[in-house]
């Protein structure tokens, strides 16, 4: 008997922000592998985005598109939704993954840093979700917001980032109320699954990993599998934030 491919998202369309690299790319691959067509948003990583689109289109022709946008400019958000609808005729899932992350030590925080961190982590997900809401209502769709365990427990020297992710956690719950019953809204709060590009030293990394209950680092695929679960296997879950952190949020 021929092997049947498991494609629970076949016929659905997904927009993933910040999809060119890292966790965003892993989520895009996972949802695409389950049958979805994917619009890959990027801001500056054009080469990575085009490479990923070629990879996905080689696996299934016409199933991936790319689009550049600066999410800090709210005028560029609605065109992202229009591009998904124009490419695939529908929008079923919005993944608000794009984020900025860097320290803001108290005493040196600038208004620009506030606007940047709050803009990418809260403002853009809100206004992009608002623009997507009509299409998502029509599809009975889903929004997945990438939060952070440090939106629940603050990280020293990252006050603005942590505040932004805490606001995104509340926005996730608020949108679940606002968009019910037609659209589900959930969040994923990763722990140590991928070190930032300015990674801490080896001793600090070891200390962070030692604070997880599972005593190991996770991976972007752990986050991607959770996004796929929410998209394909969890029709009665909304307004929830799932920690994908190896139990670190219990080990502080």
Q: Which two tokens stand for residue 208?
A: 């962070």
pLDDT at 204: 80
Q: What is the pLDDT of residue 2?
A: 45
Indicate which residue of 102, 158, 161, 236 is catalytic: 161
Q: Which residues contact 221 (CB under 8 A, 6 or more apart)?
A: 26, 30
How many domains does one find in the chain? 1
The domain of 122 spans 13-251
Residue 8 domain flag: no
CATH (domain of 112): 3.40.50.720
pLDDT confidence of residue 140: 98
What is the torsional sign of CA 116, 158, 101, 193? negative
pLDDT for the residue 252:
65
In a domain, 4, yes or no: no
Give the pLDDT confidence score for residue 196 in this predicted structure: 80
**Looking up tokens 């965003």, which residue turns up?**
24
Is 161 a residue of the active site? yes
Predicted confidence pLDDT, tens digits, the chain (252 residues): 444 568 999 999 999 999 999 999 999 999 999 999 999 999 999 999 999 999 999 999 999 999 999 999 999 999 999 999 999 999 999 999 999 999 999 999 999 999 999 999 999 999 999 999 999 999 999 999 999 999 999 999 999 999 999 999 999 999 999 999 999 999 999 999 988 877 677 888 888 888 899 999 999 999 999 999 999 999 999 999 999 999 998 876
Helices (H) and strands (E) in the chain, counts: 9, 7
Flag whether the pTM goes above 0.85: yes
The pLDDT of residue 32: 98
For residue 1, being part of any structural domain is answered with no
Is 2 part of any domain?
no
DSSP for 145-199, written as a single string: EE--GGGTS--TT-HHHHHHHHHHHHHHHHHHHHHTTT-EEEEEEE-SSS--TTP
Of 24, 26, 137, 30, the residue nearest 91 (C-alpha): 137
Using CB atoms within 10 Å of the CB of residue 209, give its burial: 0 to 12 exposed, 13 to 18 middle, 19+ buried.
middle
Residue linked to tokens 């895009």 = 28
């Amino acid at each position: 008997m021929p092997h049947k491919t498991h494609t629970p998202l076949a016929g659905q369309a997904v927009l993933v922000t910040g999809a060119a690299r890292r966790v965003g790319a892993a989520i895009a691959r996972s949802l695409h592998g389950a049958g979805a067509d994917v619009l890959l948003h990027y801001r500056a990583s054009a080469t990575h985005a085009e490479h990923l689109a070629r990879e996905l289109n080689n696996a299934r022709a016409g199933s991936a598109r790319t689009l550049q946008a600066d999410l800090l400019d709210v005028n560029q958000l609605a065109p992202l939704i229009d591009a998904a609808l124009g490419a695939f005729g529908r929008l079923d899932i919005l993944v608000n993954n794009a984020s900025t992350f860097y320290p803001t030590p108290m005493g040196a925080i600038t208004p620009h840093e506030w606007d940047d961190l709050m803009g990418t982590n809260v403002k853009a997900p809100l206004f992009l979700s608002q623009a997507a809401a009509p299409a998502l209502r029509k599809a009975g769709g889903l929004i997945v917001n990438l939060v952070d365990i440090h939106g629940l427990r603050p990280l020293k020297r990252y006050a603005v980032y942590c505040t932004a992710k805490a606001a995104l956690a509340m926005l996730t719950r608020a949108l679940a109320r606002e968009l019910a019953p037609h659209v589900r809204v959930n969040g994923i709060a990763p722990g140590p699954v991928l070190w930032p590009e300015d990674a801490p030293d080896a001793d600090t990394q070891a200390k962070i990993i030692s604070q997880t209950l599972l005593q190991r680092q996770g991976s972007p695929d752990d986050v991607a599998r959770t996004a796929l679960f929410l998209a394909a296997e969890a029709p009665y879950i909304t307004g929830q934030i799932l920690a994908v952190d190896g139990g670190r949020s219990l080990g502080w």
